[in-house]
Chains A and B, each alone.
Chain A
Amino acid sequence: MAKPVGILRFLGTNCDRDVWEAVEATGHKPQWLWHADQFSVGDYSAFIVPGGFSYGDYLRCGVLAAKSPVMKSLREAAGLGYPVLGICNGLQILCESRLLPGVMVRNIGRRFIDTWVELKLENQTRWTSGLKPGARIRLPIAHGEGRFYAADEELKKITDGGQVWWTYSTENPNGSLRDIAGVCNAEKNVCGLMPHPERAMHTWLGGEDGRQILKNMVAA
């Protein structure tokens, strides 16, 4: 059996159990990684930073989590090319860690949004190896600060560099620049998105398109 998938937990993470179940649903073995501890990178096959409200969104969403001990190990793993996925607040944490470009700011309509969205795959990454660019999936979103923002120069860099992972394909719910719903690093092993694939793993959850992302986390 492949090595376990590490799931990071911070004070205020609240999608950790859902991610755990989702990882198991794809046939992988999950394992918790506590925020105060560093870990041995080679013991794991992939890493997921789940959503929630780490540290009550104090100072800026994700920033306190980004400076915690577990992130030192995650940074090492990212540098070695391990697959890393950030979901919602997990994406905000990866952005504040500078492992991913840009920042997520307050939704343009100022409201917290809880709905389903249609997404379009813009560029291939390790986490979507089963899909072709242009593929569309449906996932739920639930966020108050999910509007992707980057300065013009950086926006051009990530667009030209193929770092736009997912875009909102029918309706942009939060005012994200260039309809960006998910981004990746230049090496494409670190990816993050605002929608929640772990909440779309079964038809009885409203859809199972989340499997398109989570089933690819560990190379066969």
Chain B
Amino acid sequence: MKIGVKILPKSEVLDSQGRAVESMLKNNGRAVHQCRVGKYVQLEVTEANESKALALAREITEFVLYNPLIETFELEVLKGQ
């Protein structure tokens, strides 16, 4: 089973990369109010049970993939992939 992990900087954290991309988009006439840049991690696990796979992915994410001080994360089951 594949689980997607979306990681974004917290809204109160200065996201310098997001700011730089946002500024480039505005300078090129793209109507963007705000842009934040995070990471997307795709985990392929052997666990076939969906809730167990999600629990494993959450454990992995909390173990190393994100830092709770500056980031938030969301998990999603990637079906049909």
A residues contacting B by CB (< 8 A) are: 55-56, 58-59, 64, 67-69
Contact = CB atoms under 8 A, between A and B. Distances in A.
A56 B20 contact: yes
A53 to B, nearest CB: 12
Contacts of B16: 56, 58
16 contacts: A55-B20, A56-B16, A56-B17, A56-B20, A58-B17, A58-B20, A58-B21, A59-B17, A59-B20, A59-B21, A59-B37, A64-B24, A67-B24, A67-B27, A68-B27, A69-B27
Contacts of B24: 64, 67-68
Nearest to B28: A67
Contacts, number: 22
A59 B18 CA distance: 9
B49 to A, nearest CB: 35
Interface of B: 16-17, 20-21, 24, 27-28, 37
A59 B17 CA distance: 7
A55 B16 CA distance: 10
B48 to A, nearest CB: 33
Contacts of A68: 24, 27
A56 B21 CA distance: 11
Contacts of A59: 17, 20-21, 37
A68 B20 CA distance: 11
Contacts of A64: 20-21, 24
Nearest to B17: A58
Contacts of A69: 27
Contacts of A58: 16-17, 20-21, 37
